[in-house]
Amino acid sequence: MFVVILMIGLVGAAGWVVLGSRLLVVRHVDVTGMNRLNRAQVLGAAAVPLGTPLARLDAGAVRERVATVAQVRSVRVERSWPSTLKIEITERTPRAAVARDGRYDLVDGSGVTIATAKKRPADLPLLEANGGLPGNPAVAAGVSAITALPKPLAGVLRRVSAPDAAHVTLHLRIHRPHVPGGQYISVVWGDGARGAEKAAVLTGLLRHKAKVYDVSSPDVATTGKQ
């Protein structure tokens, strides 16, 4: 009986230390993975009540609150004993700029607007797609083409037109000898499938001077003048 009572007392004391005492409460919140976001934005969304026993803190609720921030693609929340909550975020990456009402929405591959800018960032191509942004297949196909390009070509990509998901066209400004400022070319990309193959075929085709390169079917790619 004495041993049973002692065990109950120890369990109760341990439970009080973990759940009710001031020994194991949230005193620090570490945030990692920030690039465009800042710590204040993440902490404001997380709304972590300092002083709450770490074991009783609803980590899932914190994760859901942080996930509502537009720039956040995914978030991970972990307890780090004795007194720290760790928030690790993965930010969305802008892939293109979409003109709207005199400004530019910077969107990721899912069409989610990450930020708005007065001017189009020089490192982002202009994306012209019919329909809305989130969940738009044309936007997804356009961004898929952008991300498939190797860095040298992605760096000279100026505009992407995607009237629908099956008809994506890339517009690049590439260097040509004896052509001041370079030459504008069009690449008929087609849909978002077989992106790596299309990029490889395009790289080879660029050895031939042309204004239009059609890699929509990489098995029978062609070039043209128009």
Contact 109, 98 (CB under 8 A): no
State in words which class domain 2-91 has. Answer: alpha beta
Q: Which ranges of 38-154 would DSSP assign to H, the alpha helix?
A: 39-46, 59-67, 137-148, 151-154
- What's residue 133's pLDDT? 79
| pTM for this model (two decimals) | 0.75
CA distance 21 to 77: 22
pLDDT tens, residue order, the chain (226 aa) = 544 454 554 444 344 444 444 558 999 999 999 998 999 999 999 999 999 999 999 999 999 999 999 899 999 999 999 999 999 999 999 999 999 889 999 998 778 889 899 999 999 999 999 887 778 899 989 999 999 999 999 999 999 999 999 999 999 998 876 666 778 999 999 999 999 999 999 999 999 989 999 999 999 999 987 5
Tell me the CATH number for domain 96-224: 3.40.50
Domain boundaries, the chain: 2-91, 96-224
CA distance 93 to 193: 21
Strand 168-176, strand 157-162: pairing: antiparallel
SS3 159: strand
The helix (run of H) or strand (run of E) holding residue 194 is none
